[in-house]
């Protein structure tokens, strides 16, 4: 229901309620419908209350309509933000995608593996630098104590020295943090 519909409904309700005739009591305490109040210019308490009620209803309807518009606007803005939330990272990665396509074309014509390997390493470094600029950071795990908040233990292996017990011996998959929040746990092998 929009604001105009609510206002029409309120006006319709007010027009359907008939005004009661003012009754005034005379000196004997009897009700006299023919007598008028002494001061015709001053509105009665009932009229004042009706005016206040009408103003309050009008204020309520306007406030409700304003809130409804605000709610609709924020829902629309959130939906648009969700659609484009990854846009900046995708735009930053497009040059890396272009480099991969050039590398694939170069591999068809390449006779030396070393030049292809060097090209792939350059692309990997470019990708890492782009992701680092966006807040991604590799976790360094090897040689550090096992921490269940950062690592996921795949297995444990016996170690010759007691100093290596409880430390990360090897890393199967690197862990990553995005703006100091873990987004992928490192999969590690722990010394036992």
Q: Is residue 189 part of a domain?
A: yes
Which pLDDT belongs to residue 150?
87
Residues 157 and 191 in one domain: yes
Q: Is residue 141 part of a domain?
A: yes
Residues 1 and 55 in one domain: yes
Residues 108 and 65 in one domain: no
* 135-145 per-position pLDDT tens digit: 889 988 888 88
pTM beyond 0.75: no
Q: Is residue 25 part of a domain?
A: no
Residues 119 and 147 in one domain: no
Residues 117 and 170 in one domain: no
Residues 106 and 76 in one domain: no
Q: Quote the domain boundaries for residue 130.
A: 86-134
Whichever domain contains 165, its CATH number is 2.30.22.10
* 25-81 per-position pLDDT tens digit: 444 555 454 555 455 678 888 999 999 999 999 999 999 999 999 999 999 999 888
* 86-125 per-position pLDDT tens digit: 788 888 889 888 888 888 888 888 788 888 888 889 999 9
Q: Is residue 28 part of a domain?
A: no
Residues 130 and 150 in one domain: no
Residues 3 and 60 in one domain: yes
DSSP string, the chain: --HHHHHHHHHHHHHHSPPPPP-EE-TTS-EESSPPPS-SSSPPHHHHHHHHHHHHHHHHHHHHHHHHHHHHHHHHHHHHHHHTTTHHHHHHHHHHHHHHHHHHHHHHH---HHHHHHHHHHHHHHHHHHHHHTTEEEPP-TTSBP-TTTEEEEEEE--SSGGGTTBEEEEEE--EEETTEEEE-EEEEEE-
Contacts of 2 (CB under 8 A, 6+ apart): 65, 68
């Amino acid at each position: 229901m929009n604001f105009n519909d609510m206002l029409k409904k309120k006006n319709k309700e007010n027009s359907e309620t008939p005004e009661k005739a003012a009754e005034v009591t005379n000196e004997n305490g009897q009700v006299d419908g023919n007598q008028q109040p002494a001061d015709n210019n001053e509105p009665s308490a009932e009229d004042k209350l009706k005016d206040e009620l009408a103003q309050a209803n009008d204020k309520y309807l306007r406030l409700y309509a304003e809130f409804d518009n605000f709610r609709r606007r924020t829902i629309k803005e959130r939906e648009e933000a969700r659609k484009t939330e990854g846009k900046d990272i995708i735009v930053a990665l497009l040059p890396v995608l272009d480099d991969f396509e050039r590398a694939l074309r170069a591999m068809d014509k390449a006779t030396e593996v070393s030049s292809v390997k060097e090209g792939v390493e350059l692309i990997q470094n470019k990708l890492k630098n782009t992701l680092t600029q966006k807040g991604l950071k590799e976790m360094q795990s090897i040689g550090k104590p096992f921490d269940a908040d950062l690592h996921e233990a795949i297995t444990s292996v016996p170690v010759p020295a007691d100093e290596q017990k409880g430390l990360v011996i090897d890393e199967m998959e690197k862990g990553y943090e995005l703006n100091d929040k873990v987004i992928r746990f490192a999969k590690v092998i722990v010394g036992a």
